[in-house]
Amino acid sequence: MQERELRALIEEVREGKLPRRSFIQRMVGLGLTAPMASMMLMHEGIAQTTSTIPYKPTKRGGGGTLKLIYWQAAVHLNPHNAGGTKDQDASRVFYEPLAGWDTEGNLIPILAAEIPTRANGGLAADGRSVTWKLKRGVTWHDGKPFTADDVVFTAAYAGDPATSMFTVATYKDIKVVKVDSHTVRVEYPRPTPFWAEALVGSVGNILPKHVFEAYTGAKSRENPAVTKPVGTGPYKIIDFKPGDILRAEAYANYHVPNQPFFDALEIKGGGDATSAARAVLQTAEYDLGWNLAVEDEILKRLEAAGKGRMQFFVGSDIEFVMLNVTDPWNEVDGERASAKSKHPAFSDKAVREAMSLLVDRKGIQEVIYGRGAITTSNFLNNPPRFRSPNTKFEFNIDKAIQVLEAAGWKKGPDGIRAKGNVKLKFVYQTSVSGPRQKCQAIIKDACTKAGIDLELKSVVASVFFGSDAANPDTYQKFWADMQMFTTTMTQPDPQVFMEQFTSAQFSQKANKWASRNLVRWSNAEYDATFKAAQTELDPVKRAAMFIKLNDLVVGDMHVIPLFARPRPYGIVNKLVPVLSAWDGATWAIGYWYRETATT
């Protein structure tokens, strides 16, 4: 479809001549997904017509205890300092944003009274401001009222570099202004096509000003609320043991009628993914298992018990390998992996190209992950409109050897290639996980055949994905040559997702390793293109910019995509959860219920 035709259709929807659903169906017929078509309209200030989630229970409580198992345990409950999904999901039980993303990519109001649109005056025509009307009658778990002051405070708190929150990039350049007690206006310094970032989804959870205002800046980690949250969500904290278990009870004054269905909530952490899968699918000891990254053959055997089923939600999460740009073994100005240093081997693109050729993506997918992996050469895979057609992957040991030989990396007496005094000998780290250790082994075997020695390192997930600034083994520090993990895309727009490779996002000592560019890759063209995409209101041109961003980062080969990861959940029979590939697992946990004779 030509750009002119697309614009004409969008205007027909805006004027009410073409039903929103018809537009989405037409876009799906052209190869887009429904979430992507919905996002196109959202960018144009045209809200979705559906803003509710189906829910059957007619009273609050009576459902007993809802039990979730996370084999990566949460370690704190500050949603703006949650670098890992486990901490984001645990925090989201208590804290809520103004809106969240459903599985179709629609915005669903939570603490907002409605979704801003052009029609209701919420979206400015120039793309420089958004006005949110807040829900009234909402109280914090300590009984204090939720108001615009809390929203204004949250944006200032998260946007203060001294507070060192993971969400700082979302808030540092915007201004949130109180219009009245239950209205705020978000002001952007430039036209902003993706206005639904701040105050929305996993980066948008609102904090109570009266609980957090005494703990800003350098004191942010000292706040008792880090482990004893005071939120507006459907559940109220009972007990939290970091790295182990979280217990909560239904909040009696929750602002959504008849919610939550369950009287209590338990989130158990630790162990491994296979044990978690068994606890849901085989024994039904738990109601839902998060991120069951288990060999598909094992999952199918467990499903055969008939007590639960697997569900996979396709978004744009990606498992990938990072090749460190910096030197993780030598200090510069007292800092390992300093942005001022260069990796002795990976600074040679020939080595990076060889590493990419030595990854058997298809074999890993077929032998290990099955339904839980989709092989890809792209970092950004969904929505489809942003997926690059320009990349490809290849597994070819002989070609890798030729590349290394041509670049002067010769085998020594020990069989390991070297050039000068630099050996191709690397520490390759990831979290403890059966499939990941098997994936490491497959890559190591190919590398050995090519004359590259890999030392495999596995770090307990609660440490690897933790936020302890004193721990040397966190993935944020990346004090190894290579590392592998999955990064999640928590909204159906790639702006926040692709921001992680901008130069401004270097994870380093100065920001307590709380920024998102862990590989510390820098590219001036990437930075300039990303900056332009932030203000490009034309959806076609903006999509082309994100394809270019993907091609730049993938083409430089410090980042090697392995496979897209549909989110794998194990769900016990009769549990009806509300899950989404575009938001956290607990984003709408108040809506969850269990089917009974009365529901």
Q: Does the reported pTM lie above 0.85?
A: no
Residues of the domain holding 29: 1-59
If you write DSSP's letter for every residue of 27-95 in order, what string do you get?
HHHTT--HHHHHHHHHHTT---S---------SS--S-EEEEEESS------GGG--SHHHHHHHHTT-
- DSSP for residue 228: S
Instruction: Give the dihedral sign, CA 265/271/277/281.
Output: negative
Q: Which two tokens stand for residue 239?
A: 């007990």
Q: What is the pLDDT of residues 549-579, one digit of tens each?
A: 999 999 999 999 999 999 999 999 999 999 9
SS3 call for 107:
strand
47/72 same-domain check: no
Q: What is the CA radius of gyration of the chain?
A: 24
Residue 50's pLDDT is 46
79/42 same-domain check: no
86/229 same-domain check: yes
333/395 same-domain check: yes
* First CA to last CA distance, the chain: 45
Distance from C-alpha of 72 to C-alpha of 14, rounded to nearest angstrom: 45
Distance from C-alpha of 538 to C-alpha of 521, rounded to nearest angstrom: 28
Q: What is the pLDDT of residues 180-217, one digit of tens each?
A: 999 999 999 988 888 999 999 999 999 999 999 999 99
95/220 same-domain check: yes
363/430 same-domain check: yes
Chain-centre distance for alpha carbon 86? 10
211/71 same-domain check: yes
Asked if residue 26 is part of any domain, the answer here is: yes
92/19 same-domain check: no
Residue 468 has pLDDT above 80, yes or no: no
State the CATH number of the domain containing residue 423: 3.10.105.10
54/109 same-domain check: no
Residue 548 has pLDDT above 70, yes or no: yes
Residue 49 has pLDDT above 50, yes or no: no
- The overall average pLDDT reported for the chain is 92
Residue ranges of alpha helices (H) inside 374-516 are 397-406, 434-450, 461-464, 495-498
- Looking at the structure of the chain, the number of domains it has is 3
247/122 same-domain check: yes
Distance from C-alpha of 296 to C-alpha of 279, rounded to nearest angstrom: 16
What is the pLDDT confidence band of residue 63, given thresholds at 50, 70 and 90? very high
What is the pLDDT confidence band of residue 27, given thresholds at 50, 70 and 90? confident
322/250 same-domain check: no
CB 157 within 8 A of CB 164: no
61: left (phi over 0), alpha (psi -120 to 50) or beta: left
Q: What is the pLDDT of residues 70-94, one digit of tens each?
A: 998 999 899 999 878 899 999 999 9
Distance from C-alpha of 484 to C-alpha of 538, rounded to nearest angstrom: 35
Cα 130 to Cα 115, 179, 295, 508, 531: the distances in Å are: 10, 12, 45, 33, 20
222/83 same-domain check: yes
Chain-centre distance for alpha carbon 302? 28
Of 28, 43, 59, the residue that ends a domain is: 59
Q: Which whole number is the average pLDDT over 508-515? A: 86
Strands 425-431 and 482-487: parallel
SS3 call for 556:
helix
